[in-house]
């Protein structure tokens, strides 16, 4: 099942908050709704597994006695926009549902904190580096056949870093990713130059974790935290393997990844020292 959009998750979280503030169970709400809702339907709305209709949201807000007109208008806007289609839908033939979910989350997140051990993060990749990585990691004929489209998607994702209200990216990259070799001439030189230029943007921070650093928590695997500002209960952790990807949304588990992230920022070189290291590696290639 495809993960719900951020808008639907925000709406569901707010409706659950209003219900719990009244100390009502799902069955309590169903009993008070004159047959409009049952517990299963309410659960699907609150967990964003189904899109709520505006009239259903209005009925729930009335039940919860939410009178603030601005709040009601905002929640109804979330409801109407919950199924809005993004630019990536035109690539549905080559994107997995999980990848679509990641792009959707990136499009609405306020921050991305990425730890990558062996790869340059997708939001910082050049076209040629992306092409080589996609080909090198392709484990199906479908991926191999869609390389050009997947490169287009990867570059289009990067617009979140340069839009009017840009996403904040903090990337920690393992040194070995910077020292990788490539089949094409100049691919890594261009990629390292891209890191240096993007690292000068005020909304992008890049740290390098040296290969000879002491053992650290990042060796258990890479992960990305997508943050939604004050809506911390909507923060999501994305992890990816060779054949699968996982979204972690439980608050305690997200908090564990945040703790791990803090350890990694401490273990990595400073932003300034990292830029110097990237420059040195680029010169010595």
Rounded mean pLDDT for each run of 10 residues along the chain, 285 residues in total: 65 92 96 94 92 93 93 84 76 86 88 96 97 89 87 97 97 97 90 98 98 94 92 85 83 95 97 98 93
Q: From residue 216, how far is each of 56, 114, 117, 200, 219 by CA, in Å?
A: 49, 16, 11, 27, 6
Greatest extent of the chain over all pairs of C-alpha atoms, in Å: 73
Asked if residue 7 lies in contact with residue 78, where contact means CB atoms within 8 angstroms, the answer is yes
Q: State if pTM tops 0.85.
A: no
pLDDT at 277: 98
pLDDT at 222: 95
Residue 112 to residue 106: CA distance in whole angstroms: 8
pLDDT at 2: 46
Q: From residue 167, how far is each of 157, 213, 217, 240, 244 by CA, in Å?
A: 11, 29, 26, 21, 26
| CB neighbours of residue 202 within 10 Å | 7
pLDDT at 1: 37
- Residue 214: phi, psi to the nearest 5? -60, 160
Residue 244 to residue 97: CA distance in whole angstroms: 11
Based on C-alpha coordinates, what's the Rg of the chain?
22
Residue 93 to residue 259: CA distance in whole angstroms: 37
All structural domains of the chain:
6-81 (1.10.260.40), 92-283 (3.30.870)
112 SS3 class: strand
Residue 146 to residue 135: CA distance in whole angstroms: 10
Which token pair is 202?
């005020």
Asked if residue 105 lies in contact with residue 225, where contact means CB atoms within 8 angstroms, the answer is no
């Amino acid at each position: 099942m495809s993960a719900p959009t951020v808008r639907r998750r925000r709406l569901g979280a707010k409706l659950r908050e209003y219900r719990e503030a009244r100390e009502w169970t799902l069955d309590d709400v169903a009993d008070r709704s004159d047959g409009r809702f049952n517990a299963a339907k309410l659960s699907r709305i609150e967990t964003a597994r189904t899109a709520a209709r505006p009239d259903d949201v209005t009925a729930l807000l009335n039940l919860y006695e939410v009178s603030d007109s601005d709040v009601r208008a905002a929640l109804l806007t979330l409801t109407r926009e919950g199924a809005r289609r993004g630019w990536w839908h035109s690539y549905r033939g080559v994107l997995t549902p999980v990848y679509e979910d990641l792009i959707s989350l990136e499009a609405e997140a306020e921050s991305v904190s990425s730890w990558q051990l062996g790869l340059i993060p997708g939001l910082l990749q050049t076209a040629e580096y992306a092409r080589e990585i996609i080909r090198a990691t392709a484990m199906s004929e479908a991926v191999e056949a869609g390389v050009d489209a997947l490169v287009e998607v990867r570059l289009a994702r990067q617009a979140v870093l340069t839009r009017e209200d840009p996403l904040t990216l903090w990337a920690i990259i393992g040194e070995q990713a910077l020292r990788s070799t490539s089949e094409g001439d100049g691919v890594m030189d261009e990629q390292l130059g891209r890191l240096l230029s993007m690292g000068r943007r005020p909304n992008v921070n890049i740290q390098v974790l040296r290969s000879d650093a002491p053992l650290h928590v990042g060796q258990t695997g890479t992960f990305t935290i997508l943050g939604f500002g004050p809506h911390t209960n909507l923060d999501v952790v994305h992890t990816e393997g060779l054949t699968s990807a996982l979204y972690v949304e439980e608050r305690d588990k997200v908090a564990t990844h945040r703790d791990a992230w803090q350890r990694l920022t401490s273990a990595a070189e400073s932003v300034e020292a990292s830029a110097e290291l990237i420059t040195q590696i680029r010169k010595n290639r």
